[in-house]
Amino acid sequence: MPIRPTVAALRVAVFLAAAMAFATQLVRAQAPTAPAAPAAPAPAAAEADEPVPTFAADFLRDTRVLATGREVWQQQCRHCHGNSAYPGKAPKLSPGGLDPVFIFDRVTYGFKGMPPWRHVFTREQRMAVVAYIKSDGFSP
């Protein structure tokens, strides 16, 4: 008879020990994963930059390219940068001093008050408007 409580106590002790071990394992298991969780900012993963284009002389002179560029300019650039734009809306472009790759970069990714045009115009259209801005026929 006196042995019964001892067995019961042993069972409780074994149960408690098991519970403790389990809890410790839980803590251990969570410890390494806790810092890993915030290290997955998937939505913040920015879109990769586009490859930087090269503007060959032939491309910059191509009449079809220039016609496309003129269209883009009139459709979406002129009302901010053009001569008839509301003063102060955007700087007048002085294309002589601007490198084609620089213009492409600004047009693609935007700059301060200017939105990016990456998802508005195709790469071809953005390259074309650069060619147009750099051309002798550019008429802002």
Name the residue nearer to ligand HEC (CB basis): 66 or 117. Answer: 117
CA proximity to 121, closest of 75, 67, 60: 75
Q: Which of 16, 80, 99, 122 binds ligand HEC (CB under 6 A)?
A: 80
- Told to check if 112 binds ligand HEC by CB under 6 A, we report yes
Backbone angles phi, psi at 70, to 5 degrees: -65, -40
Q: How many residues bind ligand HEC (CB under 6 A)?
A: 18
- Told to check if 111 binds ligand HEC by CB under 6 A, we report yes
DSSP 114-139: BPP-TTTS-HHHHHHHHHHHHSTT--
Name the residue nearer to ligand HEC (CB basis): 6 or 84. Answer: 84
Q: Which of 107, 127, 128, 131 binds ligand HEC (CB under 6 A)?
A: 107
Compute the distance between CA of residue 12 and CA of residue 137 in angstroms, rounded to an integer: 92
* Binding piece for ligand HEC, criterion CB under 6 A, among 9-17, 26-34, 44-52, 87-95: 87-95
How far is the CA of 117 from the CAs of 53, 55, 71, 126, 127, in angstroms? 16, 19, 15, 8, 11
> For 1-140, where are the E strands, in sequence order?
none
Binding residues for ligand HEC (CB under 6 A) = 72, 76-77, 80-81, 89-91, 93, 103, 106-107, 111-114, 117, 129
